[in-house]
Amino acid sequence: MSIIPLYFAIPLITAFAIPLLGKISKTLVWIVATVVSFVLFILALYGIALTQETSMIVYRMGNWPPPLGIVMAFDSFSAFMVLVISIIVFSGCFFSLRYIGHFTGQWKFYTLYMLITAGMMGIAITGDLFNMFVFLEIAAISSYCLVAFGVDAEELEASFKYMVMGEIGGLTFLLAIALLYAKTSTLNLADISNTISSIGMTPFFWTILGMLLFAFSIKAALVPFHTWLPDAHPAAPAPVSSLLSGIFIKVLGIYTTARIVFNIFGLNRANAPVFFNILIGIGLLSIAWAGLSALNQKDYKRLLGYSTVSQIGYIMVGFGIGNYYGVAGAIFYILAHALGKGLLFLTSGSVVHRTGTRDLDKLAGLGEAMSTTAWSYRFGALSLIGLPPLVGFFAKLFIVLGAIKAGLLWLAIIAIGLSVLTLSYLLKIENSVFMKKGKMADIKKAPFSMRIAMVFLVILVLLTGLGFQTLMDFLIGPAANALLRGVEYAQLVFGSFSLNF
């Protein structure tokens, strides 16, 4: 049996089993969810090994060949996304043991957590456009509920705002699917790619692409479609914030954009320079606008929310550069931001758990009292700032090299210069919470399970930085090549057989 369907089937089955397990024991629910997330992590590592042997693994649902049946298409880019999803899901699940303890109906949290995991996994491996929409909605609806999980007025308001904007994006995506189906008579991504290639870059082509970019920009929280995210993060439980910022918006917004632009529509900087310049423009606007907005925040999690919008801009700039270094840098940045920002949101969770406040003006004195949290924050922040040898440095380095190789020296200079914004707003938390002396000095350390989750991500931030060359050879490089091979994606899907591993 192929392992490919297991990536979404295991968390989906677990989500339906958890309500039954919840009647037995709350601790059992956490144990099962954590074990499942760890199993997904192991399977993700195995998936990376499989993609070293073949360019594409295609699983045919019901053994129907494409385009007649639904297929799961698993290449190096899919394997990369599955691995990053599993890392953030596992760390958040482990962290949640004590954090979710004061909520009622804890089994509901883990049910939604497994559903959002299944949705993200499905998006990363599906080879069918409509199923991409289905998985996207599974993940999105679960995220709406998780943001509102505490059912306070602030949380319900943030969730409703997020739901309205999210469903505008979802409906736009669905309309684009309907128009594509009317034109191509297929929903298989590889088959759509073949048909689009024969049609050429007509007004229909650009209209559909514009609709998709609009929909995915909302999901990715890119400026000016970002306003839902700074509200959602303060409202959501910390493990959910870590998941939303660390990987969720990248799967629903960035992965989908990259896959469709490069592999389905077959665009590159040579044949669509204006479009790729638009991607760069959106990215730079997000970096600058959200970075400046972050400087004015006094709420720990809201500041990190604006930081996420800003950092996503770097990923879009990398894809907009369009060459190997730019695309590799963007993919590297997906990993670096997932680890770094996922870690920073876990630190916010441990702080809020012990102090009961997110107000930076009230949190002075935690540097010694919560030393593990403080040092975890520092490692995550320094990585995002781009300090070598942490993983964030290499992500930014490749984006800068990509800009220089593309003859965009001005872009390289701006990308480096805007890092000052990142330094400024992350130092604001460091100074206010961990460096300044204050009355919070007597606060207890974060619970052991929270500290373990944070240390796990700190170790990964260090290892992925120190082992960047190995990552480039076995993870980042193959993922970038999977995108840059363009419409060869379709040939691989139709030319591959269902492989059993």
Please name the residues in contact with 13: beta carbons below 8 A apart, sequence gap of 6 or more.
none
Sign of CA dihedral 46, 47, 49, 50: positive
List alpha helices for 418-471, DSSP H.
419-429, 448-466, 468-471
| Closest C-alpha to 477, from 325, 317, 262 | 325
Amino acid code (one letter) for 347: T
What whole-number distance in Å separates Cα of residue 27 and Cα of residue 33? Answer: 10
pLDDT tens digits along 236-283: 888 999 999 989 999 999 999 999 999 999 999 999 999 999 999 999
**Same domain, residue pair 403 and 500:** no
Amino acid code (one letter) for 115: L
Q: What is the DSSP code string of 372-402?
A: HHHHHHHHHHHHHHT-TTSHHHHHHHHHHHH
What whole-number distance in Å separates Cα of residue 293 and Cα of residue 288? Answer: 9
What whole-number distance in Å separates Cα of residue 359 and Cα of residue 18? Answer: 35
Name all contacts of 17-25 with Cβ < 8 Å and 24+ positions apart. Answer: 18/107, 18/110, 18/111, 18/114, 19/107, 19/111, 21/107, 22/106, 22/107
| Closest C-alpha to 111, from 27, 6, 163, 33 | 33
**Same domain, residue pair 444 and 496:** no
Please name the residues in contact with 24: beta carbons below 8 A apart, sequence gap of 6 or more.
none
What whole-number distance in Å separates Cα of residue 347 and Cα of residue 87? Answer: 17
How many structural domains comprise the chain? Answer: 2
- Find the helix packing angle between 300-321 and 409-417, rounded to 10°: 170
**Same domain, residue pair 372 and 417:** yes
**Same domain, residue pair 316 and 235:** no
pLDDT at 496: 56
Is residue 301 within 8 Å of 345, Cβ to Cβ?
yes
Q: What is the CA radius of gyration of the chain?
A: 21
Paired tokens of 384: 């995002």
What whole-number distance in Å separates Cα of residue 265 and Cα of residue 254? Answer: 15
Please name the residues in contact with 379: beta carbons below 8 A apart, sequence gap of 6 or more.
343, 390, 458, 461, 462
Please name the residues in contact with 10: beta carbons below 8 A apart, sequence gap of 6 or more.
36, 39, 40, 43
Is residue 242 within 8 Å of 342, Cβ to Cβ?
yes
**Same domain, residue pair 202 and 295:** no
pLDDT at 1: 52
**Same domain, residue pair 252 and 277:** no
| Closest C-alpha to 388, from 409, 419, 413 | 419
pLDDT at 441: 66
**Same domain, residue pair 329 and 254:** no
List alpha helices for 185-272, DSSP H.
189-199, 203-220, 228-235, 238-243, 249, 256-258
**Same domain, residue pair 355 and 336:** yes
Is pTM beyond 0.75? Reply is yes
Continuous segment of H or E residues that includes residue 72: strand 71-74
**Same domain, residue pair 416 and 287:** yes
**Same domain, residue pair 480 and 493:** no
Strands 71-74 and 57-60 turn out to be antiparallel
| Closest C-alpha to 215, from 178, 267, 160, 268 | 178
- Domain hosting 389: range is 269-485
Q: What is the mean pLDDT of each run of 10 residues along the chain (501 residues)?
A: 88 94 86 95 94 88 83 94 96 89 81 96 94 95 91 85 94 96 92 90 94 95 92 86 91 95 94 95 96 92 93 96 95 96 93 87 83 93 92 94 95 93 92 82 83 95 93 94 93 66 36
**Same domain, residue pair 210 and 293:** no
CA distances (Å), origin 477, targets 80, 438, 468, 484: 10, 47, 11, 10
**Same domain, residue pair 64 and 179:** yes
Please name the residues in contact with 135: beta carbons below 8 A apart, sequence gap of 6 or more.
8, 118, 119, 120, 121, 122, 123, 126
- With H, G, I as helix, E, B as strand and everything else as coil, classify residue 498: strand
